[in-house]
Structure 1
Amino acid sequence: MENRTTLSKTRQLTVVGMLSAICIVLGATGYGFIQLPIAKITIMHIPVIIGAIVEGPKVGMLIGFIFGGFSLIQNIVAPNMLSFAFINPLVSILPRVLIGLTSYYSYKLIKVKNESLSIGIGAAVGSLTNTVGVLFMIYVLYVDKYAEGKGLTIAKATKTIFGIAYTNGILEAIAAVLITVSVVGAVNKIIKDKRYTK
């Protein structure tokens, strides 16, 4: 029993390290962003969702914390027009930690017979947590600064923020569903095959 617990913890730490590294590589190289004709979307949060669904909410939250911490540091080291918001942990870290909770519990608690559909629901909810969470915190805490930086009125800035949340939220959720269903499905198959061959 003790050996099984130790192996489980070791596996979880390995998953945290591997998926956190993927988040950081995606952010540092720019590969975590996909330019579409109507929007630029991110896939950097997808390793957080995968970790949560495969290994549980604690693992997902830890990967989310590392992802958010990297985002905060990146905005200090290489500031851009929105860095004033992302150096606040309520913007850069909190929504990313919550991805682990929302993706796991929506995957587990929304009961459907099809496993891929369950995974897809968890991925979509986790992705929306990231997109809407970050933009909502920017709106609540910094809408005036955002408006000033963009040269907009508060009303137009509000419309812009919620427009981005709507457009990016849908596109990023679709990307998260497609990638997460494929990856988690493959991982689950490997786990089942290993159990079967034992």
Structure 2
Amino acid sequence: MIGRLTGTLAEKTPPQILIDVHGVGYEVDVPMSTFYNLPGLGDKLSLLTHFVVREDAQVLFGFLTGEERATFRQLIKISGVGPKMALSLLSGLSVPELSQAVSKQDTARLVKVPGIGKKTAERLLLELKGKLGPDLALPVAVANDSQADILQALIALGYSDKEAGAVLKKLPPDVGVSEGIKLALKAMS
């Protein structure tokens, strides 16, 4: 499948853009969060994509970040949520905002997005609970990639974001991943 496109931005007509890749123009639907961060016409652009094939159409959806694409893919797995609704959700809410709404079970926040009613919002909150990444719901300051890996490992081991974040603050900033996990587990026991 088509996972990424790199080429020249030829046209911008919200929510669709045209990317020229070596003489072939790809029409790509993008959320407004991606659209607002696009370079100017004629500039080089690289987008992560999701390719949808239906009986009547083949559609490419593009995203500037892997986080947006992963959230889009999570959304379209939900019964009754198609690619257009997922795109609308990502246009109305950033991924951290959506994750926060899910963690707080905030129906009112989702209903503000055009095309999302109360029942759909409730179903989204139910289906997405625990699936958008705990590190997005409650941001914990991490100084480097090692600390981010340590945090994810602790969360995967069943510790809450709060517990993992508190222990992470006590670790030396330059600690390696494996040593940091050992020290964190020792501190938690």
TM bucket (normalised to shorter chain) is: under 0.3
Report the TM-score, using the length of structure 2 for normalisation.
0.27
Report the TM-score, using the length of structure 1 for normalisation.
0.26
Larger helix fraction of residues: 1
Larger strand fraction of residues: 2
The answer to which structure, 1 or 2, has the higher relative contact order (CA under 8 A, 6+ apart) is: 1
Larger radius of gyration: 2
